[in-house]
Amino acid sequence: MARLELQGLCKGWDFPVIDRMDLTVEEGEFFVIVGPSGIGKTTLLRLVAGLEAPDAGKVLVDGRDITALPPYRRRVAMTFESYALYPHKTVAENIASPLRARKTDAATIAKRVQSVAELLRIDHLLDRKPGEVSGGQKQRTALGRTLVADPEIFLLDEPISHLDAKIRHELRQQFHTLEDLRKVATLYVTHDYAEALSLGDRIGVMGSGGLVDVGTARDLFERPANLFVAEHLGQPTINVIPARLESHADVLHLRANQGDLLLPVDPARAHLLAARNDGAVTIGLRPQFVRPADEMPAGSAQVTANVDLYEALGSTGILIADILGLRITALTSPERIFEHDTQVQLAVDTAALHYFDPRTGANLTLQTPGAGAATAMASSVASGISSRAEA
């Protein structure tokens, strides 16, 4: 088994795509990088594989610097997004190609190809050519070619992005159970947040220049480092609401800039906003924490909205509502029906709100000096805002 380390890795053309990136993937770890298309995920894999040369920094495997080694000397196997199969060769020949390149004996090749093909359930396709199999079977063939190489590092570049939903789900399950992938460091990239949350032992969210947050699925979903991370994890996407702090009867509230939405700030979190001298804050509200009032506990903050659109998706419902120009996405029970342009009473779990700095996007919720002083600080903040308003 092997450990992958990236130290100060840089790569750019007209602008830096990867800028001084550090990352360690432990042996046996399935590390997923998620991010929008064109952000540099494939470039990162190509740097590790040796298909691109970094402008600066190092790639190490088990402490050995392999930055200057050509691809064929790296013991790194990569599955490409586009399959990259030889169209004139059979499935068996495609899977066997890394072993043939290493001049492995024929008996070992045959045994290894059969074993991998059975694992991926394509052993009945070994005599066919890529043009004679489905997209999912092509992808399994490409994955088999990666597995058969017995590498130190696995690199998987959006390996199931072109497949239909049923096959994607099936292959995700296989990634969990393939022992070959769990023996070495695996770096998997995708733009699909569901893949990332499902597969990753740890997940890195990639933004401009490199990773902007790293953690487990739960960490990233519940405690995103910034607004960029929050917007890229979750479906439907998080509601993003520019707001200002106001004080009403010594209770701190948030008022949306775009509509008449007034929410009380949870006292346990009011201290997070103590430094907001201008009162500006960006609210992050995940749709599962805003629902029709009769589906939420009594005492939740409520607001009246107009139904704009409703989608019944079988296991859940997605309600898009308008609050005087402010559009909010909420989740509902699947059996509900909401007619367009009718009124609905929504309830919000204010304890689940995220607070982001409107200038930097940083998650203010993570800046927790301690809950003990929360109530006193909430009163102090409210008084400060009230004094500024009077001034």
On the question of pLDDT at 24 being above 70, the answer is: yes
pLDDT tens digits along 44-68 = 999 999 999 999 999 999 999 999 9
Q: Which of 214, 232, 250 is the last residue of a domain?
A: 232
* Residue 315 pLDDT exceeds 70: yes
- Grouping H, G, I as helix, E, B as strand and the rest as coil, residue 263 is strand
Instruction: Classify burial at 249, counting beta carbons within 10 Å of its beta carbon; exposed 0-12, middle 13-18, buried 19 or more.
Output: exposed
Q: Is 37 exposed, middle or buried (0-12, 13-18, 19+ CB in 10 A)?
A: exposed
Cα 233 to its chain centre, rounded Å, is: 5
Nearest to 146 by CA among 49, 69, 86, 76: 76
- Do 211 and 303 sit in the same domain of this protein? no
Shared domain check, 124 and 83: yes
pLDDT greater than 80 at residue 277: no
- Backbone dihedral region of 130: left (phi > 0), alpha (psi from -120 to 50 degrees) or beta? alpha
How many percent of the chain have pLDDT more than 90?
54
- Give the C-alpha distances (Å, rounded to integers) separating 249 from 99, 283, 302, 382: 75, 22, 18, 9
For 243-261, the pLDDT digits (tens) are 998 877 767 888 887 777 8
Quick one: average pLDDT of 11-33? 93
Q: Do 382 and 274 share a structural domain?
A: yes
**Do both 253 and 201 map to the same domain?**
no
Q: Can you give the pLDDT at residue 216?
A: 95
Residue 386 predicted with pLDDT over 60: no
Whether 105 and 203 map to the same domain: the answer is yes
C-alpha 6/C-alpha 44 separation (Å) is 10
The last residue of a domain, from among 172, 202, 232? 232
Measure the CA dihedral 31/37/41/47, to 10°.
Answer: 160
Q: Which residues pair with 262 in a beta bridge?
A: 255
Of the residues 201, 232, 263, which one is the last residue of a structural domain? 232
Pair type for strands 153-157 and 76-79 = parallel
Mean pLDDT in residue range 295-300:
86
**What single letter denotes the amino acid at residue 117?**
A
pLDDT, residue 1, reads 62
- pLDDT value, residue 366: 81
**124: pLDDT strictly greater than 80:** yes
Residue-level pLDDT at 18: 95
Residues 50 and 197 in one domain: yes
Please state, in angstroms and rounded to a whole number, the distance separating the CA atoms of residues 56 and 311.
49
The region of weakest confidence among 237-241, 272-276, 325-329 is: 272-276
Q: Does residue 208 sit in the same domain as residue 91?
A: yes
In the predicted structure, residue 382 carries a pLDDT above the cut 50: no
Q: Does 373 share its domain with 271? A: yes
Q: How confident is the model at residue 80 (pLDDT cuts 50, 70, 90)?
A: confident
Question: Quick one: average pLDDT of 16-37?
Answer: 94
CATH number at residue 348: 2.40.50.140
The rounded distance, in Å, linking the Cα atoms of 374 and 390 is 24
Q: Compute the average pLDDT of residues 74-96.
A: 89
Burial (CB < 10 A; 0-12, 13-18, 19+), residue 321, is buried
Note the pLDDT tens digit of each residue in 184-198: 899 999 998 889 999
> For 141, which DSSP code?
H
pLDDT at 14 (0 to 100): 82
In a shared domain, residues 223 and 280: no
Higher pLDDT, 212 or 159: 212
- pLDDT of residue 381 exceeding 90, the answer is no
| pLDDT score for 274 | 62
Handedness of CA 249, 251, 257, 260 (dihedral sign): negative
Residues 159, 255 within the same domain: no
Q: What DSSP line would sit under 226-251, residue for residue?
A: BHHHHHHSSSSPPEEEEEEEEEETTE
Domain CATH code at residue 178: 3.40.50.300
Residues 225 and 273 in one domain: no
For 337-367, write each residue's pLDDT tens digit. 999 999 999 999 999 999 999 999 999 888 5
Amino acid identity of residue 64, one-letter, is: R
Instruction: Decide: pTM greater than 0.75.
Output: yes
312 sits in which H/E element: strand 301-312
Ordered DSSP codes for 313-376: -SS-EEEEEEETTEEEEEEE-TT----TT-EEEEEE-GGG-EEE-TTT-BBGGG----GGGHHH
Average pLDDT for 318-347: 92
pLDDT confidence tier of residue 41, bands split at 50, 70 and 90: very high
pLDDT > 70: what percent of the chain?
A: 91
- Number of domains into which the chain is organized: 2
pLDDT at site 114: 93
pLDDT in tens, 128-146: 999 999 888 888 898 888 8
Q: What average pLDDT does the chain have?
A: 86
Question: Is residue 251 located within the same domain as residue 218?
Answer: no
Task: Taking residues 218-241, report their average pLDDT.
Answer: 93
What pLDDT, in 10s, does the model give residues 92-117?
999 999 899 888 999 999 999 998 89
Residue 380's pLDDT band, with cuts at 50, 70 and 90, is very low
pLDDT at 15: 86
pLDDT of residue 313: 87
Residue 378 has pLDDT above 90, yes or no: no
Rounded CA-CA distance 230/234 in Å is: 8
Residue range(s) defining the domain that contains residue 353:
239-390
